[in-house]
Amino acid sequence: MRIARCFVLWLLVSVAWGLGAPADASAADRPAPRTPARQAERNRMLDVIRRYGMTDETVLRAMAGVPRHEFVPPAQARSAYADTPLPIGHGQTISQPYIVAEMTRLLRLTPQSRVLEIGTGSGYQAAILAEFTEHVYTVEIIEELAAEADQRLQRLGYHRVSVLHGDGWEGWPEHAPYDAIIVTCAAGQIPPPLLQQLKPGGRMVIPVGPRYAVQSLMLVEKDLDERFRSRSVMAVRFVPFVSERTGADR
């Protein structure tokens, strides 16, 4: 009787969380969990990204599958699919959807790619990367963010994303070299250890400039002779978060 009660309780909790055992079990077998919740909003977000000129359908498909609203704080949930970054605490933001798309495209990922992300934040970018490859390593220096992102990714079924609480400057040498490195926090300097952990022929994408000003996305390529070339891809602004009302207006 006690077992039956526990089972019923477990079932209720699982349904309430939307994360029953069958879904968890299947998550390991497919590239990423799919959720129909707020799909219409996600589609509208993708339309906006397309209007910017994004034509890479693999990136768009990946973004269509990741529930962005799960990666923003509850207070921002209504604006989750607005074309703006949103605050996630500790002075950090989840990037504007278009920037996430563009940075992902620039990495040219394949299923075999080994990719390192510096600045896990809420884990949204890592989830997008996990749509492409099984080898996603992400480092976050703020302990609270790292722990929350790890739990969130596990809860949503992104078991193949490895989260490390540590100093992004040092990269994650144990899993190096990487085919791609993505730095999601704006930087005034490019850590030499990250450049060293990039494979010859690898690509690194990094936003350059302050968070609240006009920035460049920088693509760094390491050629086979281990020389670096970089390219200023676009003038972007990781537009700061807007109030819920403003976000809804967009």
Residues of this chain that interact with other proteins (CB under 8 A) are 90-91, 141-143, 167, 169, 186, 188-192, 195-196, 208-216, 218, 220, 227-232, 235, 237, 239-243, 245-246
Tokens of 65: 């599958």
CB of 89 to other proteins, least distance (A): 8
Q: Which is nearer to other proteins, 23 or 208 (CB)?
A: 208
CB of 235 to other proteins, least distance (A): 4
The residue with tokens 């992104």 is 158
CB of 142 to other proteins, least distance (A): 5
Which one of 95, 122, 162, 230 is the catalytic residue?
A: 95
Q: Which is nearer to other proteins, 201 or 210 (CB)?
A: 210
CA–CA dist 94, 85 (Å, integer)? 5
Q: Which is nearer to other proteins, 38 or 169 (CB)?
A: 169
Q: Which is nearer to other proteins, 67 or 207 (CB)?
A: 207
CB of 106 to other proteins, least distance (A): 14
Cβ–Cβ < 8 Å for 218, 208:
yes
Other Cβ atoms closer than 10 A to 243: 10
Q: Which is nearer to other proteins, 31 or 166 (CB)?
A: 166
CB of 72 to other proteins, least distance (A): 16
User: Is 79 noted as a catalytic residue in this protein?
Assistant: no
Query: So which residues are the catalytic ones?
Result: 95
